[in-house]
Amino acid sequence: MSILVLGAGGQVGAALRWRAMARGQSVIGLKHDELDITIADAVRRTVADIRPSIVINCAAHTAVDRAEEEPERAMAINGEGAGNVALSCALASVPLIHLSTDYVFDGSKTGPYREDDPIAPATVYGRTKLAGERAVFDAWGKHVILRTSWVFGAMGSNFVKTMLRLAASGQSPLKVVDDQIGGPTPADAIADACLDITTRVLQADIVPWGTYHFAGAPTVSWHGFAQAILAHYPDLVIAPCTTEDFPRPAPRPANSVLDCGRIRAAFGIGQPDWTVHLAHLLRDLGEMPTESGEDGS
Ligand SMILES: NC(=O)c1ccc[n+]([C@@H]2O[C@H](COP(=O)([O-])OP(=O)(O)OC[C@H]3O[C@@H](n4cnc5c(N)ncnc54)[C@H](OP(=O)(O)O)[C@@H]3O)[C@@H](O)[C@H]2O)c1
């Protein structure tokens, strides 16, 4: 069994390589400079040559604000690129796990989003990711689309690292939006969910293909998340502000909360507790002392 990870240099792609290796699974990770998913021929040749047991596509244009300025590039990667991957998988008869986002919703719902709630992306990023979902759906039946939210981990850039950088710079008070809620999702946990789905896909006769939500719990606002990240900076003031106080080129969903009941029912995969993963990450980044009794090895 071999797993081919595309976009392997990103947060989730890197976590997938490490988690797969830790689980003793054979994994090939291709970074952007090793395979560009916008080049259809290259993707087709790569999948045909490697003939993996499964492809996990983490490659994406994730710069939400920049996407507003370069919609064609975002569509080439998130929309057409996803289609190239799915078509290549279909031609080689290889199952595909494709990552997507809560941004396919506009965030106006009260309560967690279910997979079959109406989609209404309000940003270029969201529209291009939705185009990718549709391209995957149209090209190849043996797919799992995994929508996630608020990803953080050791690799790449994310909200945790931004908050730590701002805190280290001595900036205080830090104003953080308090009227947008969601589920911070550890990249490691997404990787494990993908690997659990992979095991099922490769071992079971009947696979519940389709679209699933996977996000961390408990629900929190960005402000609450910042407080958790910076709890060890007792003198730092973290001031709540509104979305209006902090305008961005791409509007952020007020509600990014994903209902994760379907993936639990179909695959037995539960929601990760982001507070536990955050504590581990802070310790790994040297932000927290190791607990007494641990030798740090
Ligand atoms: N980050 C979040 O908060 C979040 C939230 C919800 C859903 N998601 C979804 O989760 C998935 C993984 O996200 P992530 O946080 O791991 O993103 P990430 O850290 O930005 O990683 C994406 C990777 O894709 C690569 N890439 C960009 N264009 C490519 C191309 N044309 N061909 C091949 N690789 C390309 C990037 O390489 P370069 O950097 O070299 O361009 C980067 O290494 C994505 O589908 C994303 O939409 C993310």
> Looking at the predicted structure, is the pLDDT value of residue 296 above 70?
no
> Is 52 within a domain?
yes
Residues with CB under 6 A from ligand 1: 7, 9-13, 32, 36-38, 58-62, 77, 81, 99, 101, 129, 148-151, 156
Domain count, the chain: 1
CATH number at residue 207: 3.40.50.720
Indicate whether 35 belongs to any domain.
Answer: yes
Structural domain boundaries, residue 21: 2-158+185-216+258-272
* Assigned domain for 290 exists: no
d(C-alpha 149, C-alpha 274), whole Å: 12
Sign of the alpha-carbon torsion through 273, 98, 108, 254: positive
What is the average pLDDT across 123-137?
Answer: 98
The Cα–Cα gap between 45 and 231 comes to 49
Give the pLDDT confidence score for residue 241 in this predicted structure.
96
- The closest-lying atom of ligand 1 relative to the alpha carbon of residue 156 is 19
For ligand 1, atom 34: residue with the closest CA:
32
Active site residue 103: no
pLDDT band at 119 (very low <50, low <70, confident <90, very high): very high
- Nearest residue CA, atom 24 of ligand 1? 59
Q: How far apart are CA 159 and CA 153, in angstroms?
A: 9
pLDDT at residue 139 tops 70: yes
User: What value does the mean pLDDT take over residues 98-118?
Assistant: 97
For residue 145, how far is its CA from the centre of ligand 1 (angstroms)?
15
Check whether 89 has a pLDDT greater than 80. Answer: yes
Answer whether 142's CB lies under 8 Å from 95's CB: yes
The arithmetic mean of pLDDT across residues 204-215, rounded, is 94
DSSP code for 202: H
- Predicted confidence band of residue 280 (pLDDT cuts 50, 70, 90): very high
The total of other beta-carbon atoms located within 10 Å of residue 139's CB is: 19
Report residue 294's pLDDT band, with 50, 70 and 90 as the boundaries. Answer: very low
Q: How much is the pLDDT for 256?
A: 98
Q: What is the pLDDT of residues 144-161, one digit of tens each?
A: 999 999 999 999 899 999
Supply the pLDDT for residue 172: 85
Residue 122 lies in a domain: yes
pLDDT at residue 293 greater than cutoff 50: no
Mean pLDDT of the 96-123 span: 97
Does the pLDDT at position 247 exceed 90? no
**pLDDT digit string (tens) for 255-268?**
999 999 999 999 99
- Residue at 163 is within a domain: no
Q: Distance from the CA of 162 to the center of ligand 1, in angstroms?
A: 17
- pLDDT number for residue 170: 87
Does pLDDT of 290 surpass 70? no
Among residues 48, 34, 122, which one has the least CA distance to residue 85? 48
Report if residue 177 sits inside a domain.
no
pTM for the complete prediction? Answer: 0.96
Q: What is the pLDDT of residue 153?
A: 96
Is pLDDT above 50 for 291?
no
Ligand 1 atom closest to Cα of 153? 15
Residue 61 domain-assigned (yes or no): yes
Mean pLDDT, rounded, of the chain: 94
Atom number, ligand 1, closest to the C-alpha of residue 33: 40
CA nearest neighbour of 8 among 26, 47, 35:
35
pLDDT at 288: 61
Query: Quick check: is 92 in a domain?
Result: yes
Hey, which residues does 98 pair with through a beta bridge? 57, 145
**If you measure from the C-alpha of residue 12 to the centroid of ligand 1, how many angstroms do you get, rounded to a whole number?**
8
| pLDDT value of position 44 | 98
